[in-house]
Amino acid sequence: MLLDDINRVFVHYWEHLIELLPKVVVAIVLLVVAIFLSNRISHLVGGRLHARSHDPLLAEFLTRLTRWALILLGLTVVLQVLGMTGLVGGMVAGAGLTAFVVGFALKDIAENFLAGVVLAFNRPFRIYDTIQIRDNQALMGRVEALNLRTTLIKTFDGKHIYLPNAMVLREPLINYTRDGHIRQDFQVAVDVSQDPGPETVRDMLLEFVRNFRDVEREEPHTPYIILEKTEGPKATFHVYFWTYSEEYRRGTQELKSDLMQAIRQRLLQQNYPEPATVQ
């Protein structure tokens, strides 16, 4: 009796498997075709977007989004072929606690994905912009890519940092290169005891800065110098100047360093007493 029951159950499942086997084969073929078509179509869409769009980050993001949307559509068709759409719907509807736990576990993933969608269409940076998250030098670098969940930046010492999109969207972000110009400053302390007055030194320094290479001279980015303080024979000037910021680290920082050294040499050539402090 027991053997008859076991045999009957085995035969039932075997017949069900034989009946389901063609659907499984069709489903596998459809899944392979869906993945192939998603790759081909997303490649074509990406090519057109990159050719016509001035925003490579947005083009790349939409290309990946297209690929995953097509794969998801293919999976839906596969489930329909297998007759599992009702089963999946029933499982989702009946597993309230499980859905809550899974949803809570995937909260960060969903949050970063939605933040990525927002950043794709409305973000405070372009590719290769230099940005900084919060006031944290460790989270400063050049934007390399925007993915579905993360934004990739490369720091100036060669490290790759994958920032969650939710952090990029939520935290204060400093963009050093979006405007194309950035203002820099430094102080110059000069002994003016042998000079008619600080104004003469200021005018000489301002003329020198204006004619220095790569320093902006057009409004509203003209350089200026203010007399910050005087202590006995020493006058301290604050030098402000603008420069292009496309290459933030190499361009702007090296220019500042070169200008500071050049001003010190200029003061020494003009026979101002040493040391002429530039910092």
CB 241 within 8 A of CB 223: yes
Q: How far apart are CA 108 and CA 93, in angstroms?
A: 23
- 243 three-state secondary structure: strand
pLDDT on residue 195: 67
> What pLDDT does residue 270 have?
82
* CB-based burial, 139-161: b 16+ in 10 Å, e otherwise: bbbbbebbbbbbbebbeeeeeeb
> Has this prediction a pTM greater than 0.85?
no
- Measured between its terminal Cα atoms, the distance across the chain in Å is 97
Task: Report helix, strand or coil for 153.
Answer: strand
Strand order in the sheet with 160-164: 160-164, 150-154, 140-146, 130-133, 173-175
Mean pLDDT, consecutive 10-residue segments, the chain of 279 residues? 62 66 78 84 80 70 81 81 63 50 60 79 84 87 86 90 90 87 89 78 91 87 90 87 79 85 87 68
Q: What is the pLDDT of residue 97?
A: 47
Q: What is the pLDDT of residue 208?
A: 92
pLDDT of residue 238: 93
- Three-state secondary-structure class, residue 119: helix
Fold of 181-278: Alpha-Beta Plaits (3.30.70)
The predicted pLDDT at position 95 comes to: 47
Fold identical between 2-105 and 181-278?
no
Q: How many CB atoms lie within 10 A of CB 223?
A: 23
Domain boundaries, the chain: 2-105, 124-175, 181-278
> Side chain identity at 7, as an amino acid letter?
N
The CATH architecture annotation of domain 124-175 reads Roll (2.30)
The H or E element that residue 124 is part of is: none
For 220, the 3-state DSSP assignment is coil
Give the list of residues 6+ apart from residue 33 with CB closer than 8 angstroms, or none. Answer: 74
CATH number belonging to the domain at 2-105, selected among 1.10.287, 1.10.246, 3.40.50, 1.10.3470: 1.10.287
Per-residue pLDDT reduced to its tens digit, 172-209: 999 988 888 888 899 988 887 776 778 888 988 999 99
Q: Which residues pair with 183 in a beta bridge?
A: 242
